[in-house]
Amino acid sequence: MSIETSIGLATGQPYPYQRTELVEPDHRRYPGWADVTDEEWTSVQWQRAHCVKNVGQLRALLGDLVDERFFADLERDQAERATMSMLVPPQMLNTIASRDVPAGPGSLTEAWYADPVRRYMLPVFSDRRTDWASHPHATRDSLHEHDMWVAEGLTHRYPTKVLAELLPTCPQYCGHCTRMDLVGNSTPQVAKLKFVGKPVDRHEAMLDYLRRTPAVRDVVVSGGDVANMPWPRLEAFLGSLLEIENIRDIRLATKALVGLPQHWLADDVRAGVERVASTARARGVSLAVHTHANHASSVTPLVAAASRALLEAGVRDVRNQGVLLDGVNADPHALLDLCFALLDGASITPYYFYMCDMIPFSEHWRVSVADAQRLQTAIMGYLPGFATPRIVCDVPFVGKRWVHQLHSYDTDRGISYWTKNYRTSIESGDSEAVSRTYEYYDPIHTLPESGRAWWAEHGDLDTAALKAAEAAAASRRTARAQLG
């Protein structure tokens, strides 16, 4: 092959791959951090103590670099739309508008408005749609995880795997969080569900279920975020899990690897991970860490150092499960830039991109199944097969399906129909569970005019029915919790 041909292969492609070095933006560019030392910055205690939890703290950090209009927009969103309370560690804030150099009052306003990380961590009112801010089928527990609890916080949806929600908090709160029903503090719009049992009792009930259920071999240990669980308690839980013979896969879910890598770099945590990984290896159990990065700008040298520390401690793999979000990453270049930053820079394997779930006020983030299919096709062929992420739709009562797996699709009304080949824990007596179809809904603003007109006529009726169904589900949960 001639040099010209090989250059042509590199540059004439729809996506021009280029290896890029990771960068840790200089935090001192923000007035509130002008005197923060590198030692403070790399301390997990300093990071946790300086998280931004309200508009006033953000204003104090940014000074007059961002116009008052932005803060008012954010304040209105918190009051009228937000399903998650505000909590952003300095590490994450520092990746916002990181390439823009402050040049006086208001100079970063547009960069803050446009920034992909800001758009999902600190949504403002003007980001949201005003026609259909929520889909009529949006629900608080859109995946019906609570309905499938076999012990409080333990969701048994798939035949061989479970999700263990150990705690309802995270070091950072993402605006689009699927578990907005449970995770984080209540907002003016959402009174959060509270776990009824004490943590120690809930965790023991989970372990007890797993001991009694040999069909389960795989546990996603999640929350919330496991980085918010005091390490000795997490290690104790993992130790008990590793003693259960049927458990062969354990995956720790932590966005903190990206949002607060300082946690996973702390000496006590590294030493603890090493102990757990060593036991897992001795017992032939695969221990992996799953994280959640949505944009290449989040992948910095500190994130790479934390990922490598986990791998050196003996974790088998660190994988990324991002969320496909319009305005953040729903574009082939943004997805591939992120995947290469993860793979080349941080030894993190791109694994999934979930379509954003049908929670309230998420329509401005969601994309249609057709767009998700186009994106999946557009990113094929650039990454190694093992690191080519699957874009998946988490279909209510079904679970993850690759976006090309749908059974049928009404593109006019934006309703896709899906099937499954297993029963969830609430369908053991349901003879039609594996033969019926299940629905997923595209955002209404993406539909042709006739489809939008159909929803304008029928949307309210569906909302009323859904509210009734939600109320019934809530009272079922309360009754179950009271039964203990």
Residues found near ligand SF4 in the complex (CB under 6 A): 170, 172-174, 177, 179, 183, 224-225, 255, 292
Closer to ligand SF4 by CB, 255 or 319: give it. 255
State in angstroms the smallest separation of the CB of 172 from ligand SF4: 6
Nearest-Å Rg of the Cα atoms of the chain is: 22
HSE, CB side, 13 Å, CA atoms: give it for residue 400: 14
Burial class (CB in 10 A: 0-12, 13-18, 19+), 284: exposed
* C-alpha span between 400 and 142 (Å, rounded): 13
Cα–Cα nearest to 306, from 260, 264, 267, 338: 264
Least distance in Å: CB of 182 to ligand SF4? Answer: 9
Structure tokens at 241: 């899990």
Instruction: List phi, psi (to 5°) of 458.
Output: -110, -10
Please state the length of the chain: 484
Q: Nearest distance from residue 246's CB to ligand SF4, in Å?
A: 26
Bridge pairing between strands 390-395 and 399-402: antiparallel
Q: Please state the closest distance from residue 453 (CB atom) to ligand SF4, in A.
A: 34
How far is the CA of 168 from the CAs of 53, 88, 182, 378, in angstroms? Answer: 17, 16, 6, 36
Between residues 322 and 451, which has the closer beta carbon with respect to ligand SF4? 322
Neighbouring residues of 334: CB distance < 8 A, sequence distance ≥ 6: 116, 295, 296, 328
Nearer to ligand SF4, 58 or 163 (CB): 163
Taking the complex as a whole, the smallest distance from the CB of residue 323 to ligand SF4 amounts, in Å, to 7
Min separation Cβ 414 and ligand SF4, Å: 24
**Distance, CA of 340 to CA of 333 (rounded, Å):** 10
Per-residue CA distances from 273 to 232, 266, 276, 355, 427 (Å): 11, 11, 5, 31, 37
Tell me the CA distances in angstroms from 407 to 370, 410, 416, 458, one per residue in order.
13, 11, 8, 24
Longest dimension (CA), the chain: 74
Nearest CA among 31, 98, 35 for reference residue 64: 31
Per DSSP, the three-state class of 478 is: helix
The CA–CA distances, whole Å, from 211 to 222, 245, 267 equal 19, 8, 32
Bridge partners, 416 (sequence order)? 409, 440
Q: What are phi and psi of 395, to 5 degrees?
A: -85, 125
- Identify the three-state secondary structure at position 418: strand
- Which residue number, 292 or 366, has a Cβ lying nearer to ligand SF4? 292
Pick the closer one to ligand SF4 by CB: 128 or 192.
192
Q: Beta strands 438-441 and 149-151: pairing type? A: unpaired
Nearer to ligand SF4, 203 or 292 (CB): 292
